Structure 1
Amino acid sequence: MASMSTDDDPRPLTGEPLPLDLLNTRWTDDDGTEHDLLGRPGGLGIWLATNGLRVPETQETLDALLETREALFELVQPEVRDPVRSRALLNETLRHGHFRRRLGANGPENVLETDTPGWQAAWRAAEGYLLLLERDPGRIRKCANPECRLRFYDVSKAGARRWCSMAACGNRAKYARHRDSR
């Protein structure tokens, strides 16, 4: 697979924590067109580059990410369809790796070890989700625009962020309210 750059990333929202950025590889345009970055040629390379992940662009990597994305998608739904199954799917990803502690030249280090290199990105996304849950699960949010499927982690001081992007979905909502008030 050819290597891509972050400039090639067509998604409307990037830069979220890794598990949410993985979820945001599927999005819907204003006209209702659905997109899947991981389903298009070169999409895996774009996503890996955007997140600074140096892992092989292989079918194994793609399959591991797709499985993990499905587990994460089920887990972030307001009503988890089958919480036991969803947890099992995420735990299956986590089973493929672990951190090994060691003393490096600059002090303690955590070294990620996975069954194969193809599981590194998916494992990091699954581990990242656990870290978000430990930090504050209530800050994992879906955009308030019902037509938008994007997710974000609310880091605002007040914890009141509602939109994936104020410039996009937030302004659309303001415009719709203004139009409806006439």
Structure 2
Amino acid sequence: MNIYQIIITHNKGWTKEEAIYFGVILLLLAGLLTISVYKHKILKLQAIAVLLLAGYIGIVFGSTVFTRKSSIRKYKIIPLWSWKEILFGNGGKELLIENILNIILLLPMGILLPFVFKKKLKSKRAFLYGFFVSAMIECCQLAFKCGLFEWDDMIHNGIGCMLGSMIGNIVLNEWQRLRNKNNIV
């Protein structure tokens, strides 16, 4: 299954109401962030990063929880079961692709986190942020019966967030170096 097929198979589109609610929440957040920038509580770059992060997490929750069809409560409580299936079972290519997509899912979140906090983020902390967000997703999927609760997703999402933060740390470091070199505020 390619990425497009996975998206259309597992996710229904947002209704107009859902899109409007999401847009209103982002607009309210943008207003609060603008006030915070105006009062010099946060930098413009931080405000942009927070808004992008909130928007991205909202889209992730929308596609992994809120727009999925409810079915039965499903869970896999054995950590790394997917890798056992890939290596020794019948999981093969499709399960490997799913694991890679789970790593990629929170990579953008990890890239944004150093900008949100305005400093380099340690890998362990980034992993924990990704794991926590993923745990919320997994618990919602279990509670709303709209997906498979599994430790593997939390681990893979945490790894993706950690890898993203490594990229974000490099980009933030370069941005700060250029800003200081060019005396940009």
Q: What is the TM-score when the length of structure 1 is the normalising length?
A: 0.30
Larger % of helix: which?
2
Structure possessing the higher relative contact order (Cα contacts under 8 Å, 6 or more residues apart): 2
- Which structure shows the bigger proportion of residues in strand conformation? 1
